[in-house]
Amino acid sequence: MNTPPGERWRPRPIVERVERAPEWVRVYEVGPRDGLQAETAVIPARTKIELCRRLAAAGLRDIEATSFVPPAWIPQLTDAAEVLPALADLDGVRTVALVPNLRGLEQAVEAGARHVAVVVSATESFARANLNAARQAALATAVEVTREARGHGLGVRGYVSMAFGDPWEGPVDRGVVAATAAALFEAGCATVALGDTIGVATPGHVHAIVRDLAALGVPAGDLALHLHDTYGQALANVVAGLDAGVREFDSSIGGLGRCPYARGATGNLATEDLVWLLHGMGIATGADLDALAAVARWIGARLGRTGLPSRVTTALAAAGR
């Protein structure tokens, strides 16, 4: 439909279906947990709760809300037992809590969690820096937590951090990545997210790892990609993931977040940027792009930010949207 004379065009994705593109993709929002955990100023629990509610109102149905970690690890998330129960009335929304060990799982269950996430590392250096354990020990803990959570009837998602590159060790052995992800899948993780923690992945690398996992019996449809945009490759890697059969992608509202343990790692892929791409390809997400941009501006204001990394939110704001 043409824009009436005298009115400005409302910026939105121009839809052109891509051959073999799926009809629908799951957008897994990590902003309330991964996006906020690196913030130095303490954010009130009520702000975190409101952020999750606004994201749900914008159409997102998969939100990683918090993490039950020791306070000394991530002080920002010490209010997990307050945040998670306050979201119990969000109908049709999967609210997920990350748990690092059995104690964290116990706390999550006490808070009413129905879905949890576990995290491992594909490298020894990052496992010791991030998980305070050797790589294999951290994997054993995650497998134990996954089985215990499944025993409680909880859904479990697995993360493999440093799946593409490590700031200390450099390139990561793809065989180790595949074996680690397969172990989580076999333990009962319904989805395993491959983390490009420092943003060094490229499309060919994405295809190769998905093929490696398929050879171990892990279908592409049970994988997710957790992408950082350090080198501007995140959206290209989304397209590669789609082509390889991945149907779930992590993102953070406004592009908030970074890995506090990885030197040089910048923000997550912005949810608005991901949704713009997917909608432009004719792929449904259930999300309202304008509403997401409004949420990004809202949380940016609460954090005292004059701008956020999201290119779409920045462009829509400049266009008066």
Query: Which residues are part of the catalytic machinery?
Result: 259
Strands 170-171 and 165-166, sheet pairing: antiparallel
Closest CA to 73 of 117, 32, 38, 35: 38
| Cβ neighbours of 184 (radius 10 Å) | 25
Amino acid identity at 316: L
Amino acid identity at 81: A
Q: Which two tokens stand for residue 168?
A: 């200390």
Residue pair 79/87 in contact (Cβ under 8 Å)? The answer is no
In whole angstroms, how far apart are CA 156 and each of 41, 69, 110, 239, 255? 30, 16, 16, 26, 25
Residue pair 15/282 in contact (Cβ under 8 Å)? The answer is yes
Q: Determine the number of helices (DSSP H) and then strands (DSSP E) in the chain.
A: 11, 10
Closest CA to 208 of 237, 167, 169, 248: 237
Specify the residue for token string 């074996």: 179
In whole angstroms, how far apart are CA 270 and each of 143, 178, 202? 30, 26, 18
For every residue of 235-273, DSSP letters joined together read HHHHHHHHHHT--EEEEBGGG----TTSTT--PBPBHHH
CA angle 118, 250, 294 (to 5 degrees): 125
